[in-house]
Structure 1
Amino acid sequence: MTVIGFLMPAGLLALALVAIPVLLHLFRPRRVKEIPFSSLRWLKVSRQRIKRHIRWHQLILLALRAALLTLLALALSKPILSWERGQGTADRFIIVDIGRSMGLPGAGGSTPLESAGRAVETIASHVLAGDRTTILLAGRTPTLLGPLTADASAYVQRFKTIPPEPGESDIGNALRMVRAMIGDAPQNPRIELFIVTDNTVRDWSLGSIHRFLDGLTVPVRVQVVETERTAGSDSWIASVHRLPADPDGQTRLVVRVAGGPVAERRTVHLDQMPGLPDQRQTINLVPGRMHRIEFPLPADMPAGSIIARIHLSPSETTPEPDPYWLNLDSAWAIRILMLEPSVTHVPELQPGFHLRTAFESLATAGGGSPVVERHPPDSVPLSALQQADIICLLGGAPLTDTTLRQLEQRVEQGAGLVIFTGPAIDREFYNTKLHDPLRPAGSLLPVTLKDAIPARLAGGLEPITGIDWSHPLFAGQFDPLYGDLTRTRISMFHPATPVHPDQDRILAWLGHDVPLIMERQVGAGRVIFFNTSPGDAWTDLPRRRSFVPLMDQLVQHLAGGTRRGSFRMGETAVLPVTHHRSDDDTITVKSPSGKPVVFTRVETALHPWIQVPDLAETGAYRIQIVHGDQTTEQVFTVNQPSDPTPTHMDIAMLREWWAPAEVVTTRAERMADPRTWGGTRLMLDPWMMFLACLVFMAELFYTHRCCPRLNPVVTSESTVARHGFFDEPAAGRDPVESDRGDHP
Structure 2
Amino acid sequence: MQLLAPMMLLGATAVTVPIALHFFYRARYKPLPWAPMKFIKEAVEQTSRRLKFQEWVLLALRCLALILLAVAIARPGRESTASTGAETIDAVFVFDTSYSMAARDGERTRLERAKDAALAVLETLPNKSSVQIYACADRASLLGPVSRYNRDQARQVIQSVEVTSLSTDVLPGLTDALTAAESGTAPAKEIYVFSDMQKSGFERQQGAVRAKCEEIKARANLVFIRCGNPERKVSNVSITDVKLLAAIPHTRTRVPFVVTVRNTGREPVRGVKVALELDGKAVERDVVQIEHIDPGTNAEVTLTGSLDEAGARLLAVFVDGDGVEGDNVLYKIVGVRDKVRVLLVAYPFAGQPATDAGDWFVRKALVPFDADRDKDKIDRYFIETESVLPQEVSPEKLAGRDIVYLLNARADDPLAGMPSAFVTKLAEFVRAGGGLVIGCGDLVQAGAYNRVFGRADVGLLPFPLRDVRDTPDATPFVPAAESIDAASVLGPVKPYTDWLRRATATRVFDLDESAPNGGRVLMRTTQGAPLVASRVVGEGEVIFFATSLDETWGRMMSDGQLAVPMTTYIVSHLTGRKVPGGTRTAGDTLSWTPPMIAPGFELVKPRPRGAKANDKVRPRVKLTEPRAEVGQKLTVSTADSLVAGEYAIVPAGAPETDGITFAVNPDLRETENLDAISDGDLEKLLGFRPAIITAGAGTETAVRERRTRGEWTHWFLLGLLFLLVGEATWAWFCGKTW
- TM-score of the alignment, normalized to the shorter chain, above 0.5: no
Q: TM-score band (shorter)? A: 0.3 to 0.5
TM (normalized to structure 1)? 0.45
TM (normalized to structure 2)? 0.45
User: Of the two, which has the highest radius of gyration?
Assistant: 2
